[in-house]
Amino acid sequence: MQTTCERTISEIAAAKPSSIRVFESLGIDYCCGGKRSLADACTRAGLSLDRTLALLEEADAAPTAERDWADASLPELVTHIVEAHHSYVRREIPRIDSLLAKVVNRHGSNHSEVLQIQPLFSALGQELTAHMMKEELVLFPYITRMAAGSAGFRENCCFGTVANPIANMVAEHEDAGALLVEMRRLSSNYQVPEDGCPTFRALYQAIEEFERDLHQHIHLENNILFPRAIAMERGY
């Protein structure tokens, strides 16, 4: 049997939702970059493996109100992703765009990083809007029909097997993840400059929260929904 150190970050995150907070706080990528073992991830991040294991155990023992989505039905999980995460993304994009416009206007001349972050966030917003539309119009209805055991769920299916659109979605998640990494780098981990106004602070808080939510969103899809949908389709 695999020890926790040998398991991948994605597997640990899918099996124990309490681990997600620990990974977030240590800056360990548990969604797009979660395919490496815990031991490997700690080595790369310069973290003590023993200390990380202790934090994971502590988090696991603490009472939590977080839902374990690993045992939810697939339609239930799809509904949660759309209602909690897709709605959040759609709500936040215009709010962050408008905060960015204000900060660029006021601080762009002294802080060129916001001039660079603005087009990156705009690209991220456009990519995510198109991405969520594909999930909601094509992939998720297919998964929901399949999980409901609807006869002929493959009818009008234009992609052969569910693994094909899933591979596209995973690649788009990686593109979104790369934009987030670049924005984090440009903002020096969302550190508000000394002369930053309250709007600057609100902007960095909003983007950081957006990043946290997107990590959870992608984790639910990459590590739970997609592998289960592929396995279910194989069983038909």
Chain residues in the site for Fe ion (CB under 5 A): 135, 169, 221
Query: Minimum CB separation from Fe ion for residue 135, in Å?
Result: 5
Query: Minimum CB separation from Fe ion for residue 216, in Å?
Result: 11
Residue whose beta carbon is closest to Fe ion:
221
Query: Minimum CB separation from Fe ion for residue 208, in Å?
Result: 19
**Is 63 in a helix, a strand, or coil?**
coil
Nearer to Fe ion, 169 or 180 (CB): 169
Contacts of 113 (CB under 8 A, 6+ apart): 186, 187, 188
In whole angstroms, give the CA distance from residue 129 to residue 100.
18
Q: Which residue, 226, 209, 193, is CA-closest to 24?
A: 209
Q: What is the DSSP letter of 154?
A: T
Nearer to Fe ion, 110 or 126 (CB): 126
Query: Minimum CB separation from Fe ion for residue 194, in Å?
Result: 37
Query: Minimum CB separation from Fe ion for residue 218, in Å?
Result: 6
Nearer to Fe ion, 51 or 90 (CB): 90
116, amino acid identity: Q
Nearer to Fe ion, 57 or 175 (CB): 175
Which residue in the block uniquely carries the two structure tokens 């055991």? 149
Nearer to Fe ion, 187 or 216 (CB): 216
In whole angstroms, give the CA distance from residue 209 to residue 203.
10
Nearer to Fe ion, 140 or 204 (CB): 140
Sign of CA dihedral 162, 164, 169, 174: positive
Q: Rg of the Cα trace of the chain?
A: 19
Query: Minimum CB separation from Fe ion for residue 67, in Å?
Result: 17
The CA-CA-CA angle for residues 26, 114, 208, to 5°, reads: 30
In whole angstroms, give the CA distance from residue 75 to residue 171.
23
